Amino acid sequence: MADEVILLDFWPSPFGLRARIAMAEKGVEYDYRDENLREKGPLLLKSNPVHKKIPVLIHNGKPVCESLIIVQYIDEVWNDKPLFSKDPYETAKARFWADFVDKKIYDCGTRIWKNKGEAQDQAKKEFIDCLKLLEGELAEKSYFGGDTLGYVDVALIPFACWFYSYETEGKFSIEEDCPKIMAWVKRCMEKESVSKTLAEPQKVYEFVGVLKKMYGIE
Amino acid sequence: MAGEGVKLFGMWASPYVLRVIWALKLKGIEYEYIEEDLSNKSPLLLQYNSVYKKVPVLVYGQKPVAESLVIIEFIDEMWKHNPILPEDPYERAMARFWAKFVEEKFIPAIFGTFSKLGEEQEKFMEEAKKNLRILEEGLQGKKFFGGETIGFVDVVGGWIAYWVPVIEEIIGIKIVEEESLPLINKWFKDILDFNIVKESLPPRDKLVALQKVYREMLLGSSA
């Protein structure tokens, strides 16, 4: 029986992008559904009653919520091209750093475009500090997963299409402070699963403009 | 069971550390416990967890693992008997979902009931109760989230059974009422009755005394 896979998502969401990239890597066919977050549809509300958020992966009628949990689920169900190492210690490190991305990158990035002045400077500094720590973890590897995309790559690369927005709003260059991360982004973009999936940075930037209007930010 | 070279850096009153202790005990793994003075962290701890500088840190064969949820999954993968997470991918996703819910929703709410006063405290109180009602649904009438025995969500969230009555005593307000949260109440009792839990809880009077001091600090600093 054919699998039915639906992804409830929102096109610029870095969290939704994680699920899309994981499925692109694994060659999973799915029905992508863009949600109107200001008027959430009944399927979303039914599938994620606790948080009412995207992304939600619905596999043969069963919903899985929370992006990193979805990515792990995808990895466990479609288990060729594994995103994790066989070594439990390497896997633990990957979980640690993906959790770090979750705790820090979205928050700092959002604070960059939502703020000005000192608050923005603080956010920029923290953002760069976090990327530098990630550079340390990447070290001399091509990807966080080694020779191929792994869990941390999937967790982090979606934010790359938001870098242009952070840089433009914050008037700084990520390349200047974190060249290794930008080199890593370039390598990821050589993969179709990434380049064909990521949202266009210019479109994301236009979307940030819309958000700023909505929040009454100048 | 030999877990040669397993060390756990912890602090006696930390629920995050307690989670890891329960995971180790479920697997019957022997470990060396190192108590940290959090006001004077050891150079080893700072080296092993340079990113957050926090406990718990598990060290196995000289390799450190930090963050309690990451540590529990590591333990489960390293030692495959007595599994903590279910085998089925969907059930695993549900277990991880509820663990994350405890972390991101319940903990800030319960912390708010403890660290705030007046209207703000009431707001957090309602939030904590709402979260417990949602957690009750996740239990789905089972004895534990893990079924007949404790599993991932019980290990991650079970500390609540011990800490909530302590918090209630200190703030002088009841959060978990039997009538409104009967299943959570029962889960609390079953958790506290579970053998490895019973034998590893921090002493109550010491915990109450410490939390009282901590609360005064928190209330004082927001004045």
Taking only the tens place, the pLDDT of each residue in B116-137 is: 999 999 999 999 999 999 999 9
Question: Across residues B168-189, what is the average pLDDT?
Answer: 94
pLDDT band at residue A185, thresholds of 50, 70 and 90?
A: very high
Taking only the tens place, the pLDDT of each residue in B143-161 is: 999 999 999 999 999 999 9
Taking only the tens place, the pLDDT of each residue in A67-111 is: 999 999 999 999 999 999 999 999 999 999 999 999 999 999 999
pLDDT of residue B222: 58
Encoded tokens for B104: 């991101």
Instruction: Reduce the DSSP state of residue A97 to 3 states and report it.
Output: helix
Structure ipTM over 0.90, yes or no: yes
Residues of A with CB under 8 A from a CB of B: 50, 59, 62, 64-66, 69-70, 72-73, 76-77, 88-89, 91-93, 95-96, 99-100, 133
Q: Does B60 touch chain A (CB under 8 A)?
A: yes
What gap in Å lies between CA B98 and CA B23, rounded to an integer? 17
pLDDT band at residue A203, thresholds of 50, 70 and 90?
A: very high
pLDDT of residue B4: 66
For residue A88, which residues of chain B lie inside 8 Å, CB to CB? 74, 77-78
> Three-class SS string for chain B?
CCCCCEEEEECCCCHHHHHHHHHHHHCCCCCEEEECCCCCCCHHHHHHCCCCCCCCEEEECCEEEECHHHHHHHHHHHCCCCCCCCCCHHHHHHHHHHHHHHHHHHHHHHHHHHHCCHHHHHHHHHHHHHHHHHHHHHHCCCCECCECCCCHHHHHHCHHHHHHHHHHHHHCCCCCCCCCCHHHHHHHHHHHHCHHHHCCCCCHHHHHHHHHHHHHHHHHHCC
pLDDT band at residue A42, thresholds of 50, 70 and 90?
A: very high
- Determine whether the interchain pair A92/B73 forms a contact, defined as Cβ–Cβ distance below 8 Å: yes
Query: Could you tell me if A17 and A161 are in contact, meaning their C-beta atoms sit under 8 angstroms apart?
Result: yes
Asked if pLDDT for residue A218 goes beyond 90, the answer is no
pTM for this prediction: 0.96
Which of B77, B89, B97 comes nearest A65 by C-beta?
A: B97
Which of B66, B77, B101 comes nearest A96 by C-beta?
A: B66
CA distance B65 to chain A (A): 7
Question: Across residues A172-196, what is the average pLDDT?
Answer: 98
Phi, psi for B38 (deg, rounded to 5):
-70, -15
Asked if pLDDT for residue B2 goes beyond 70, the answer is no
From edge to edge, which strands make up the β-sheet containing B63-66? B32-35, B6-10, B57-60, B63-66
CA distance A73 to chain B (A): 6
In this structure, what DSSP letter does residue A199 have?
A: P
- Determine whether the interchain pair B77/A88 forms a contact, defined as Cβ–Cβ distance below 8 Å: yes
Per this entry, what is the length of chain A? 218
pLDDT of residue B149: 93
